[in-house]
Structure formats: structure tokens, C-alpha cells
Amino acid sequence: MDSEQTISVMQIFGILRKHIKAIWITTLVVFLASIFVTFFVMTPKYEATTEILVNRKLSASMQAAQYQQVQADVQMISTYKDIITSPTVLKTVNNTTSGYPGYPGSMSALKNAISISNQQNSQVFSITVKATDAKTAATIANETAKVFKKQVVKMMSVHNVSIVSKATPNYSAVSPRKTINLAIGLIVGLILGIGLALLREVTDRTVTSESYLTDELGLTSLGIVSEIDDKEVKKRITRERHSSDDLITGADGRVEARNRRRV
């Protein structure tokens, strides 16, 4: 027989209170797992950034066209981003830095380790490299900027690229983000524990009250068999044994007294 069941807020709180131990155990297990993964499995990564300026110098006679030239340089940054991540640049960078500790491992991994960003309408853009070694990250960033500066002259015959600042090693790991990982582990563990508690309660078909039989299933109650604890049963058996022993001892005593009187 199919029946729809609705659960009120108070019932939900009652279910959570009933399974509070299982919820805390699940939360603790997931939280400890996140600690283990964060501190012992995930490899720390470091970032280094170098900044490049795109600015073409104009002669005094062409100063009136300075604004148009700036806008052209800003729009060229999108093209420069593609050049930086092209095999023309990365192949040279790969050959130079492949022996360094913490090197990404291949040209495709090197490309994924490099990110390029710039502010809107800014002539400066940044090359950021992420690696498992701080010095290697800085070396790759600087080498990428140097190779790009040389290649862009050959490819486009322009001299509007200059390195504003070189990358320096930053020994503060950017990943894993320990605090965030631990917070996520705690929240996920709590949600998982609550979900398992509700699932266990919904799938539990054990009859726990007389009202369920009479109200939900429409059955007639013929009586209730109370549950007796094992300890209580043992206590009753022990008391009955002691009572039997006392009766036997008392009867023997009366028999002995009668025999003495006859003598």
C-alpha cells in the first residue's frame, strides 16, 4: 500500500537529535579526511608574476596621434596573449627551464601553468606562472617575458614591448588553500551526516509506536507487549532463586527442631 508521508520541522529536529551521534561521527571522519588530503596529499604551489608594458614611442611630429596609438596598443594585448602561449615562445622556455625543480613536466602543462591578465584599457599586462617550486615559478615567468619580447620583434616588427617588473620568488603557497579546504570538509561532512540520518529514518520500516499501526495502517490494537531489559530478567531470576533457597532452609530448620524435642 502506497502512502504519502509528510515530515514536520519538529519531526526533522527529532530525527537529527536521534541520530546526533552518527552525524558527528560522519562530520569528524570527513573533516579528518580533508585534513589528510590538504596537508599530506596535495602538493603546495607557488606563484610568480612579471609585468609587461605595451607602449610605442612616437616622434614629436606624431604626438597628436598619441591617443589612437595607445588604443591600438591596448587592443594588441589580446594578440600578444596568444603569442605568449604559442609554441614559438613556449618551446624556447621549455628547453631552458625543463631541468629546474618543480617544472610542470611538458609544454602542455607549461601552457596550463601560465596565466595572462590585464586591467581594462591598461597598457600593462601580467604573466603569472604557478609551479611547485617558488624559484622555478619566477624563472619561468621571467624567461617567458624575455623570449616573448624577442619574438614579437621578429614576428611583428614592432618595438613597443618592455618589461616593467621582473618576477621574484614568493614562498607563500597559493594552493592548497588550507582554511577553505578545512571549512569545506567540515560543511560537507555535516551535510553528509544529516543526509544519511534523514535517509536512514525514511527507509527504516521498524514499527516504533502503536499510533503508526492504528492511524497510518488502520489496524486494530489487541494489546501491547512490553519490552523487558535483560538485566531486569536476570535480577528477577536471581531473586526467585534466593527465595526458593530460603524456603528450603527454613523447612529443614523446623524438621531439626521437632527431632530435638522428641529426643
CATH code, domain with 132: 3.30.70.1130
Q: Assess if residue 25 is contained within a domain.
A: yes
Contact predicate 82/149, CB 8 Å: no
pLDDT (0 to 100) of residue 76: 81
Q: Assess if residue 220 is contained within a domain.
A: no
pLDDT (0 to 100) of residue 61: 52
Q: Are residues 169 and 185 in the same domain?
A: no
Q: Are residues 71 and 169 in the same domain?
A: yes
For the chain, how many structural domains are there in total? 2
The mean per-residue pLDDT over the stretch 126-141 comes to 95
Give which of 131, 15, 118, 18 is closest to 76, Cα–Cα: 118
pLDDT (0 to 100) of residue 90: 94
Q: Assess if residue 109 is contained within a domain.
A: yes
Cα distance between residue 5 and residue 256, in whole Å: 73
Q: Are residues 105 and 26 in the same domain?
A: no
Per-residue pLDDT tens over the stretch 185-221: 999 999 999 999 888 877 876 766 666 667 666 667 6
Q: Are residues 77 and 119 in the same domain?
A: yes
Q: What is the pTM of this model?
A: 0.65
Q: Are residues 49 and 170 in the same domain?
A: yes
Q: Assess if residue 245 is contained within a domain.
A: no
Q: Are residues 167 and 184 in the same domain?
A: no
Residue 199 domain boundaries: 15-39+178-203
Q: Are residues 115 and 148 in the same domain?
A: yes
The mean per-residue pLDDT over the stretch 34-54 comes to 93
Q: Are residues 137 and 193 in the same domain?
A: no
The mean per-residue pLDDT over the stretch 102-118 comes to 91
Q: Assess if residue 243 is contained within a domain.
A: no
The mean per-residue pLDDT over the stretch 222-240 comes to 73
In which band, very low, low, confident or very high, does the pLDDT at 31 lie, cut at 50, 70 and 90?
A: very high
Cα distance between residue 184 and residue 261, in whole Å: 90
At residue 251, does pLDDT exceed 90?
no
Other C-beta atoms lying within 10 Å of the C-beta of residue 10: 8
pLDDT (0 to 100) of residue 75: 79
Averaging pLDDT over each range in 178-187, 207-216, 225-234, which range is the top one?
178-187
Q: Assess if residue 124 is contained within a domain.
A: yes
Q: Assess if residue 249 is contained within a domain.
A: no
Q: Are residues 127 and 52 in the same domain?
A: yes
Q: Are residues 184 and 163 in the same domain?
A: no
Q: Are residues 199 and 145 in the same domain?
A: no
Tell me the pLDDT of the chain averaged across its residues: 81
Contact predicate 15/108, CB 8 Å: no
In which band, very low, low, confident or very high, does the pLDDT at 122 lie, cut at 50, 70 and 90?
A: confident
pLDDT (0 to 100) of residue 6: 56
At residue 254, does pLDDT exceed 60?
no
pLDDT (0 to 100) of residue 212: 63
DSSP letters along 181-233, please? HHHHHHHHHHHHHHHHHHHHHHH------HHIIIIIS-PPP--------HHHH
What phi and psi values does residue 78 have, to the nearest 5 degrees?
-60, -40
Q: Are residues 128 and 188 in the same domain?
A: no
Other C-beta atoms lying within 10 Å of the C-beta of residue 100: 15
pLDDT (0 to 100) of residue 166: 94
